[in-house]
Amino acid sequence: MGPDEYQVMADMETIHWWFLARMELVDRLMGMVIDRYLTLDRTPPRDDLVGSSPRGLKILDLGCGTGSVLESLGRFGDAVGVDISPQALSLSRRRGLRRLVLGSGDKLPFKDGSFDAVVALDCFEHIQDDMAALSESYRVLRPGGVLLTHVPAIGFLWSEHDEALHHRRRYSRLELRDKLTYAGFLLPFLTYSQCLLFPLILMFRVFSCFSKRGILPRANVHRVWSPLNRLLLYINRLDHVLAANLGCPVGVSLVSVATKTTGGTT
């Protein structure tokens, strides 16, 4: 992403409906992950940075950006953030976060089996070799660990927004499933999200393509009238219930929970 986009993200993450809804979805899924898949009585090898603490999970926020998600993940255990952008890490430090590493998702600077969970929110679409990044996520997870992903979905939604954020792809459900499976993961949970708002966002993206005026692409993240912002957040909460219980046949994003097999690394 460009420098301006990082600053916009830092300004909007705590107030904009899209960021708030995504964080609420992560909270819901982390609760599911802890209840169903993770046990905390293991003692995998630890990197010095990761440390060891009896109070919770060891979590890697992959592509931590400006730090709002990393800050929230601290409720579940010891969270470390990694990002390729020095500017993003600088903005994370302004939140008081210190467990930050400059690094690329396709070559992570951590030992095998360092983490119980890797959280990658809107990260893999930025990486040219996303299969290498998925393999690295598998490597740094301990056996039985969990990868939680959130990525943009459906190619025909491609717009100026994707260009501004330097996306390399939007995923189909089949593509994400195949890539996770090829990397060695089991996939107990995979669904589209933001299904209820899909028609509205589709129309907005089509309109944006025809009305593009600027030379440089800009992300579609703007301040929203407060009552509308709350309404969109409530709609997303309904969407989360739908996605978690029934699954969504279509949506703006894809969300998955993938588990590392107990036989070791690939």
In a domain, residue 265? The reply is: no
In a domain, residue 131? The reply is: yes
CA angle 224, 227, 231 (to 5 degrees): 90
Question: Which pLDDT score is estimated for 210?
Answer: 63
pLDDT-based confidence at 220, cuts 50/70/90? low
Domain of residue 238, residue span = 3-260
pLDDT-based confidence at 131, cuts 50/70/90? very high
Residue for token digits 């800050």? 71
- Could you tell me if 174 and 228 are in contact, meaning their C-beta atoms sit under 8 angstroms apart? no
Q: Tell me, what CATH number does 187's domain have?
A: 3.40.50.150
Q: Name which residue leads in pLDDT, 159 or 197.
A: 197
Q: Which three-class secondary structure state does DSSP give residue 143?
A: strand
The HSE-up count of residue 219 (CA atoms within 13 Å, CB side) is 18
Q: Name which residue leads in pLDDT, 252 or 3.
A: 252
Give the mean pLDDT of 207-236.
Answer: 77
- Could you tell me if 129 and 174 are in contact, meaning their C-beta atoms sit under 8 angstroms apart? no
Structure tokens at 148: 């939680």
Helix (H) or strand (E) holding 57: strand 57-62
Question: Which pLDDT score is estimated for 41?
Answer: 45
In a domain, residue 61? The reply is: yes
pLDDT-based confidence at 170, cuts 50/70/90? very high
Handedness of CA 172, 176, 179, 182 (dihedral sign): negative
Give the mean pLDDT of 24-46.
Answer: 74
- Is pLDDT of 239 > 90? yes
Q: What percent of the chain has pLDDT over 70?
A: 86
pLDDT-based confidence at 60, cuts 50/70/90? very high
In a domain, residue 266? The reply is: no
In a domain, residue 28? The reply is: yes
In a domain, residue 186? The reply is: yes
What is the C-alpha to C-alpha distance for residues 165 and 163, in angstroms, rounded to an integer? 5
In a domain, residue 53? The reply is: yes
In a domain, residue 172? The reply is: yes
Give the mean pLDDT of 4-24.
Answer: 88
Count: domains in the chain: 1
pLDDT-based confidence at 263, cuts 50/70/90? low
pLDDT-based confidence at 211, cuts 50/70/90? low
pLDDT-based confidence at 44, cuts 50/70/90? very low
pLDDT-based confidence at 63, cuts 50/70/90? very high
